[in-house]
Structure 1
Amino acid sequence: MFSSKEQFKRRYLQRLEMMYGKRFEDTTVMEQYHALGQLVREAISSRWIETNEAYRTTKQKQVYYLSIEFLLGRLLGNNLVNLGVYGLCEEALGELGINLSEVEQCEIDAGLGNGGLGRLAACFLDSLASLDLPGHGCGIRYKHGLFDQKIVNGYQVELPEQWLRHGNVWEVKRADKAVQVRFWGEVETYYVKGRLSFKHVNAETILAVPYDMPVIGYETNTVNTLRLWNAEPAPFPTNRDALTYKRETEAVSEFLYPDDTNDEGKILRLKQQYFLVASSLHSIIRSYKKHHEDIQHLHEYVAIHINDTHPVLAIPELMRILLDEENLSWDEAWSVTTKTISYTNHTTLSEALEKWPEHIFKPLLPRIYMIVKEVNERFCRELWELYPGEWDRIERMAIVSHGLIRMAHLAIVGSHSINGVAKIHSDILKMREMKDFYDVYPTRFNNKTNGITHRRWLLKANPELSTLISESIGTDWIRSPMELRMLEAYADDSSFHHSFQAVKKKRKEILAHRIKQQTGIVVDLDSIFDVQVKRLHAYKRQLLNVFHIMYLYNRLKEDSDFEMVPRTFIFGAKASPGYHYAKKIIKLINSVADKVNSDPRVAPYMKVVFLENYRVSLAEEIIPATDLSEQISTASKEASGTGNMKFMMNGALTIGTLDGANIEIREAVGEDNIITFGLTAEQVLHYYQKGGYTSLDYYHHHKSIQTVVEQLVNGFFPNVGSEFEMIYDSLLEQNDEFFVLKDLSSYSLAQQEVERVYRDQRSWYQKSIINIAKSGYFSSDRTIKQYSDEIWGLSIR
């Protein structure tokens, strides 16, 4: 792309001065960032064009990955790494007096996602391009994303996420490919040549305008596309008040996950989901028909994958297109639809399996509602033939029941593949949560354990460790991450230990600087960096971690002989704006931090840090510096997790429950190289089904547990009043749904094992290196190859 440093400098300076009409010496760092981004995007434009042309001319099957989230992080550095020019650009810019790292800091994380769902989608796009596979993303171009989190007096405060305030250097607007999306109105029925036909009339139309972003593969010529849809008012008359129509239209692509605690919010969320699938499917079908005549062969050239239940309306929307626009019969359309669409389930939480009230769904999407009702009627007739008289079973499995449309049921019935994202998760789906459907469609269910792109989470995020690895085993691991297993030969190598220790200390220094800059807290570099960063949710049990910190604090205060290995407890998490319980836990974490960090008795042993506004770019600083990775969800609740993979890849040890991919990590590294505790998934599910757990028993019979629970409400935390009564009541009056008190003693013992191992640094480094060596399996390259081979049927470009 750039043949030499001199050529790069020439082109860069020319671009910078042309863009801003001033001398290089007078430009700002932000202007330098934008010029570099524009230069890189234009430099790969020929590859982007060639990739799309290759897909068209060879008529290769392509996958379209529909997701409500794409948590991309910063793209400049990652794109330079994938293009193989990061070092060249860094040196060339250095010669101009520009620090590339400072330029990268100007890029704001794209506000297109929140947690693991969106980060997984981003990793998958990277792997598709890096493996030369024809695959694209389809999402929404949120103006404000979720929110920017500020911590004020310990409370989460949500501010608009202004990620587009300086523009997005990576996107290209495709106004000529805008799509009309229709809401409300009525459906007229009529006959054409003896065939019943349908027409959506009196609809409110909005425009979906695509913005394309290039997805650059690692040292390959493949550049795939992430297409993001922006909602804009349609340029033709409407009976609505113009300002109200404009405001409601733009709201569709304004925020990720609008509050749906009332009907107005539910309507907006449902609008978002249909907006995503209607615009994406229109674009996909339009592209297909340019090069293929028979729509009945769609599934041979197109795979549509729905990432969780948010894009499930792709099923009835594809049926609508095939029935109303392509004039297929129901059976023909259903055959094409089910062969084209596949579905990933990401949860066993009932509240996350979306259900839409019919009284909202029907008027907003009248034709889609008719199709869903017809799908339900036909499916229930099929069930009646299989299970005559079993009304309870049919009621459980119905897509439409008791005034609700069950999106997960629609996803299963309308797709040819349903996969979980870790072995235990897929087994729970088959054997428990979706057993009724597994009995009917056993061949549709399969597992695809999640993965992460090692290029961002190791090569880019931890260059010092990457260099150490490459110096030791060569660079083949970058293309073939399973080659990391060669590091196992260095597990007992004291020289490698010394080098690894130096790398870890360097990364801890970087994070310590960030902590000091952001919070004013000075942390001990020789302490265990004990980290829990993820979405704030009760089942992820940040509360368990906090209770253990309170327990340690109490011991240090009560027992003058008690000592512990110094620890820095680091948290990062956003709570959904309407999730009040999670916000109380954020306040509790910060209250504990205030208590601990201001107490001279515990200062030599403990610090507690909450880093606000957790995001991808912050994770890239936290994860390489981590010693201990907290993966402590209630067993059976975490479908997979991907943070656990990022931490192990950077040499952190995991303390965790036997949940999600923790189980497969344990299988990979061996029981001696991970620290597990707590209830198993079987035990948790048994309690849920049969009862038998009483949290008050643990409260009354364990003095240390009673103490920390009482400290929520007895004035231990000054100036908080009744702030934590909700948490207190959840544990005792509501019987501790996620077994925090049940697992607390086991967790405490596991943490003692952490200390024991850490005191033996040789043993700790052995375990760290084995974790890195075994992490190659958890690359998203492996996951995507399995999707490609076993679900989508793609071939390499």
Structure 2
Amino acid sequence: MATAFSSSQSKLTPERLLEVLVHRIGKDEHAALPHDWLAATIYALRDDIIERWMTSSRQAVADGSKRVYYLSLEFLIGRLLRDALANLGVNEEVKASLAEHGVDLDMIEEIEPDAALGNGGLGRLAACFMESCASLDIPAYGYGIRYVNGMFRQRIADGWQVEYPETWLAHGNPWEFERRESSYRIGFGGEVNGEADGAVEWKPAETLVATAVDTPVVGWRGKRVNTLRLWTARAVDPIRLDAFNAGDHAGALADQVRAESLVRVLYPADSTPAGQELRLRQEYFFSSASIQDIVRRHVQYFKDIRTLPDKVAIQLNDTHPAVSVAELMRVLMDGHGLDLEEAWDITRRTVAYTNHTLLPEALESWPLPLFERLLPRHMQIVYAINAMVLREARTKNMGDGAIAAISIIEESGERRVRMANLAFTGAHSVNGVAALHTELMKQTVFADLHAMFPDRINNKTNGVTPRRWLFECNPGLTALIRESIGDAFMDDAEKLADLNALADDKAFGERIAAVKRANKAALSDYLRHHMNVRLNPDALFDVQIKRIHEYKRQLLNLVETVALYDQIRSHPERDWTPRVKIFGGKAAPSYHNAKLIIKLANDIARRVNSDPSVGGLLKVVFVPNYNVTLAEKIMPAADLSEQISTAGMEASGTGNMKFALNGALTIGTLDGANIEIKDHVGYDNIVIFGLTAEEVAERRANGYAPREIIEESRELQQAVNAIASGVFSPDDPDRYKDLMAGLYDHDWFMVAADFDSYTAAQRSVDARWQDRAGWNRSAIRNIANVGWFSSDRTIGEYARDIWGVM
């Protein structure tokens, strides 16, 4: 679909880069600094991308193609230069052109800001999906918010997480294009008036303007360039001149400040009423702008609003955009004059919903007074939708208990609007993101909705793009694979299976190990430079990098680390496997226990790393400000991937896939996509421990006594008591007292229940490490058999089964 480079201006020659440097950046070659060369390289590359982008868009219009619209509150896209160079196949050309000017491409890639548009797996998945849509030649838009300060920049001060604003946009963003013509008014509050003819008019008390900012998303080999459209906010009148001239200079800017607050920070703390209101305002702001844009484009190209489901597929990435269901209804009814039933039919056939969690607090619900005050027209529509859904439930003989569970309005206790129920009932497809997660959706949070709509829930196991998570982040391994099995895997990741023929080849295993060691040495150099910590590249690199949350059980890892530390000191005569424990991840600013776990990791590191008695056998490192760029450095260096969530609580995971793709062995529970990874790589090439989801549920239902387990496990009791008594926090002996008491008293996340099994699994890892040929064989089996977890496969399934575009 994309055309070849046609203009002499598009060649990325040394002369072209210099021309851009002079005429766009305004710098002489000899005065240019690294950031000038970075901008010049992006602008020069961007010209080629724009040609493909316009061609892709024109072709979609000419073909009358159905388009996919992916709504997500997060897009963790990371740095884009390396991604674009690799997907266009011009990396070596640009490297050589820059070298003519004495500039190192690797050096300028390192100074590109890491876009602060997401937090963890949800946002990174959205980014992988957008890249795969372009790579599979599927016309698609991603919709989100252009956060000025993103999640936050994490610093570690005396072991504690400290949050600072992320300033990725401080010097502009050469990748983006403002689209002033794509601006929409977004209303809040006010009143709703009914007319005699049945028409309804919502008169918002507050209105602001959403304006689109577009970023091109380049597919593999430049096949297609799609659009990531992010919304920024401004007041209708940025300054009230009457107030300013009256001397109220700050008050004159209040409307603009209020508008800008919507796009400042991802996930503002919602522990206060003001925080909850801001979160809901954010979600409606981007959902409304996106729905208005989608409908406007459809009517422009296809005229008839009733054909919307034939030409538009809207995918809600988790519950955050669920208000889009009510917003689409409002636009269809109030803007296009459709009646309730017809608008509902069109909405359901257009919208699909992906659920990413079984945690009740993450499914989102809003206090009804807050929702009605901010979105009075939508409250009316939600009630109308709920009436249709509950009447349908009655016709299917659903009981009162089931109807209460199905209702969009929570009636027990504080009345709340259940956003997951709104998304479920307003979608024709509801998918989970791993086989276990999908089955648990049917059995737990959506059991009654599933009984009412038994064909609606389906599974689409997550995937990751192999371009970024193998080709770009691990060029040494990629080169070895190409040399060994050819290039077919670069267009079809499942062709990695050809490596299985080399799994028992000892020499090939040693070459795989050599690539891994080089990656470990590179990471060690990076951490020595940035953290002043010295690591042994010949040690086993044991890595847990992900969002800090109790269900992900960094605490289990840390308690076992303390137990291992005690064992090494107590039994120095044993043949211990040298280990480097690497942690990384951010805790939500208001999540006390998660922040305490970060402090514990750093306290343990300080104690262990300064103790000569462990003789270099154990190191602990917490890497601050974990993001996509750090993941690209750490994952290729990992030997062991920690995927140890409480069974039944992780929807899928994607880090588990990235680690395995880079030759790490997984130690994990039978949770999320670990189960499917086990099935693909083979039980002998993964380390499974702990309770199953069914066993976790059974223990919780029948009475779980963690105190008894702790008291019966000598290693566990010693480790817990050491932490609780202040061994690792002599400055504040009671710091972890309550955290450890929680393990004794309730231990919802089954740390005690799984500890002995986890410890045994870790010692089995030690034994595997001693058999280096066997370890290399398992690493090869992991690389060879996780091609199925490519996001291309996932997107292909969405496209065929849900969107109807392939």
TM-score (norm 2): 0.96
Amino acid at match of 1:722: D
Counterpart of 1:616 (choices 616, 624, 628) is 628
- Tell me which residue corresponds to 1:572: 584
C-alpha distance in 1 between matches for 2:379 and 2:10 = 59
For 2:764, the equivalent position in structure 1 comes to 753
Other-structure match for 1:695:
706
Give how far 1:320 is off: 0.3
Aligned counterparts of 1:431 and 1:665: Cα–Cα separation in 2 = 23
Q: Which 5+ residue runs of structure 1 have no aligned equivalent?
A: none
* Aligned position for 1:517: 529
**Which residue is equivalent to 2:226?**
224
Q: Distance in 2 between matches of 1:201 and 1:374?
A: 20
Matched, 1:589 2:598: no
Deviation at 1:3, TM superposition (A): 7.6
CA distance in 2 between partners of 1:679 and 1:76 (Å): 43
Q: Which of 183, 193, 208 is residue 188 of structure 1 equivalent to?
A: 193
2:111 aligned partner, one-letter code: C
Relative to structure 1, the CA distance from residue 69 to residue 7 in structure 2 (aligned partners, 3 Å threshold; closer, same or farther) is closer
Comparing 341-350 with 699-708, greater Cα deviation is found at 699-708
Structure 2 residue aligned with 1:384: 394
The one-letter code matched in structure 2 to 1:524 is: N
Hey, what does 2:562 align to over in structure 1?
550
Match of 2:543 in 1: 531
1:597·1:603 contact (CA, 8 Å) conserved in 2? no
Given candidates 310, 323, 327, the residue that maps to 1:300 is 310
2:334, 2:349 → 1: CA distance? 19
Mapping of residues 69-88 of structure 1, within 5 Å: 69-88=74-93
Contact 2:287 2:323 in 1 (8 A): yes
The answer for the alignment partner of 1:772 in structure 2 is 783
Query: Which whole-Å CA distance do the structure 2 matches of 1:302 and 1:505 have between them?
Result: 48
The alpha carbon displacement at 1:5 in A equals 11
Deviates more, 1:232-241 or 1:433-442: 232-241
Q: Which amino acid aligns with 1:527?
A: A
1:348 aligns with 2:358: yes
Q: CA deviation at 1:730?
A: 1.7
Corresponding residue of 2:459: 447
Alpha-carbon shift at residue 236 of structure 1 (Å): 7.9
Return the alpha-carbon distance in structure 1 between the equivalents of residues 737 and 266 of structure 2.
Answer: 30
Q: Is 1:270 the counterpart of 2:275 in the alignment?
A: no
The residue type equivalent to 1:576 in the other structure is A
**Residues 19-28 or 695-704, more deviating:** 19-28
> Separation in 2 of the partners of 1:174 and 1:49?
14
In the aligned structure 1, how far is the partner of 2:13 from the partner of 2:382? 56
Q: For the residues of structure 2 that align with 1:607 and 1:219, how far apart are their CA atoms? A: 42
Q: Note if contact 1:5-1:88 (Cα within 8 Å) is conserved in structure 2.
A: no
The whole-number CA distance in structure 1 between the counterparts of 2:480 and 2:238 is: 61
Q: TM-score, length-normalised on structure 1?
A: 0.97
- Report the RMSD for the aligned CA atoms in angstroms: 1.5
Deviation at 1:560, TM superposition (A): 3.5
Name the counterpart of 1:169.
Answer: 174
- What amino acid sits opposite 2:65 in the alignment? Q
Corresponding residue SS for 1:175: strand
TM-aligned CA deviation for residue 386 of structure 1: 2.1
Distance change >3 Å, CA 202–CA 466, structure 1 → 2 = closer
Deviation, 1:746, is: 0.2
**Counterpart in the other structure of 2:655:** 643
The equivalent position to 1:102 in structure 2, one of 104, 107, 117, is 107
CA–CA distance in structure 1, aligned partners of residues 615 and 299 of structure 2:
68
**1:334 and 2:344 equivalent?**
yes
How many Å separate the matches in 1 of 2:567 and 2:444? Answer: 42
User: In the aligned structure 1, how far is the partner of 2:118 from the partner of 2:451?
Assistant: 35
1:669 partnered with 2:678: no
Residue 247 (structure 2) aligns with = none
| C-alpha separation in 2, matches of 1:759 and 1:653 | 14
> Is 1:210 aligned to 2:212, yes or no?
yes
Q: Does 1:394 align with 2:403?
A: yes
Give the one of 284, 299, 305 matched to 2:294: 284
CA contact (8 A) 2:726 2:736 kept: no
Q: Aligned to 2:721, which of 689, 710, 725?
A: 710
Aligned twin of 1:369: 379
SS in 1 for 2:543: strand
What's the counterpart of residue 574 of structure 2?
A: 562
Structure-2 change in CA distance of 1:523 and 1:4 (3 Å): farther
Counterpart Cα distance in 1 of 2:507 and 2:204 = 74
SS in 2 for 1:374: helix
Q: Report what 1:199 is aligned to.
A: 201
Task: Give 2:248's aligned residue.
Answer: none
Name the amino acid aligned to 2:259.
T
Residues 30-109 of structure 1 aligned to structure 2 (within 5 Å): 30-109=35-114
**CA–CA separation in structure 2 for the residues paired with 1:110 and 1:377:** 43
Q: Deviation per CA, 1:187-240, whole angstroms, max 9, x where unpaired?
A: 111122xxx121111421111011000010111331100000001111389899
Q: Give the superposition deviation at 1:396.
A: 1.7
Q: How far apart are 1:4 and its partner, in Å?
A: 11
Distance in 2 between residues matched to 1:764 and 1:447, nearest whole Å: 33
* In structure 2, C-alpha distance between the alignment counterparts of 1:550 and 1:518, rounded to whole Å: 25
Q: Secondary structure at the match of 1:270?
A: helix
- Which residue of 256, 261, 266 maps to 1:246? 256
CA gap 1:7/1:151 in 2 versus in 1, 3 angstroms: closer
Give yes or no for the alignment of 1:482 onto 2:491.
no
- More displaced stretch, 708-717 vs 131-140: 708-717
Note the C-alpha offset of 1:562.
3.3
Give the partner amino acid of 1:328.
L
Q: Deviations over 1:365-403 (max 9, x none)?
A: 110111011111221222222236x22221122100231
- The whole-number CA distance in structure 2 between the counterparts of 1:685 and 1:6 is 60
Q: Distance in 1 between matches of 2:135 and 2:128?
A: 10
Q: Given the alignment of the two structures, is residue 418 of structure 1 paired with residue 427 of structure 2, yes or no?
A: no
SS of residue in 1 equivalent to 2:85: helix
Instruction: Output the CA distance in 2 between the equivalents of 1:180 and 1:406.
Output: 26
- Give the letter for the 2:405 counterpart: R
Question: Where does residue 21 of structure 2 map in the other structure?
Answer: 16
Deviates more, 1:111-120 or 1:213-222: 213-222
Q: How far apart are 1:704 and its partner, in Å?
A: 1.5
CA distance in 2, matches of 1:237, 1:167: 23
Aligned partners of 2:130, 2:724: CA distance in 1, in Å? 47
Amino acid at match of 2:525: H
Deviations 1:598-651 (A, max 9, x none): 000113200000000000000000000000000000000000000000000000
Q: Counterparts of 1:4 and 1:670 in 2: how far apart (Å)? A: 51
Alignment of 1:772-791 (within 5 A): 772-791=783-802
- Corresponding residue SS for 1:137: strand
1:749-796, CA deviations, whole angstroms, 9 ceiling, x for partnerless residues? 00111111110000000000010000110000000000000000114x
What's the CA shift for 1:6? 8.0
- Identity of counterpart residues, as a percentage? 44
Shift of 1:458: 0.1
CA distance in 2, matches of 1:560, 1:647: 31
- Give the whole-Å Cα distance in 2 for the aligned partners of 1:773 and 1:201: 59
Q: Does 1:437 align with 2:446?
A: no
Whether the 8 Å contact between 1:596 and 1:603 is mirrored in structure 2 is no
| Aligned-pair CA distance for 1:22 | 3.1
One-letter amino acid matched to 2:136: L
The residue aligned with 1:658 is 670
Q: What's the CA shift for 1:55?
A: 1.2
1:700 shift after superposition: 1.5
Q: How many residues align?
A: 789
